[in-house]
Amino acid sequence: MVDLIITGDAGKLHAVYHKSAVPSAPLAVILSGNPRQKHHMNDRVSYAMFRAFMDIGFSVVRFNYRGVGDSEGVIGTTSDNMLDIATVIDWIQNNNEDSEKIWLAGHQLGAWYVLQAMMRRPEISGFALVSPDTAVSDFAFLSPRPNRGLLLQGACEGDDARAFADHLTQVLKKQAQIDLETIRVKNSDAGYSQPADLRQMYNDLKAYVGREKEEAKLL
């Protein structure tokens, strides 16, 4: 892993990057949660997602949005953060021209950014949503895009969160033709606060991505 600086729309973005030894290895970009709620690229969930892709053989990058940590600028809007995401996707693709596949994975608000980015980037192969923010319910941006992905959720997140996940699954299938597999991590909350919960989330994500990769199901 190496620390690096990526030039973004509002200045320098701080990122951490792991490059696979295999030039054609698939790529992954990790999107942390809401920066206004103190989420960042080095929080426990973001790091666990990063390691899952790294350990399965991907070249992978995680980064701080503008105004977070050592990234320049001030904390921005959704539109600002989407510009940062586009910058990082472009960067990892430009530095891995032999790679044909790219995944996105996001936690909390980052999960919504995953879906928005996927609607704008037809080259996105697969995705993972980890405990998406239930306060976001605008699905207007979704359009038909046959694909597959994973939703990871803590089994102890509560009835509202479980109902929301079920609703999201149906909306994605009906509005965007996206099949979403759901895995609920036993005994875990949305922050995967116990070490065993975080490790199980990591294992479940790694297993799903590995299965998709092995069976060549990536679109």
Of 121, 140, 147, give the one whose Cα is nearest residue 129. 147
In this structure, are residues 168 and 181 in contact, taking their beta carbons and an 8 Å threshold? Answer: no
Domain limits, the chain: 2-214
pLDDT more than 70, % of the chain: 98
In this structure, are residues 18 and 59 in contact, taking their beta carbons and an 8 Å threshold? Answer: yes
Per-residue pLDDT tens over the stretch 102-142: 999 999 999 999 999 999 999 998 999 999 988 877 888 88
The pTM is what?
0.94
Per-residue pLDDT tens over the stretch 152-177: 999 898 888 889 889 899 999 888 88
Domain 2-214 in CATH 3.40.80.10: no
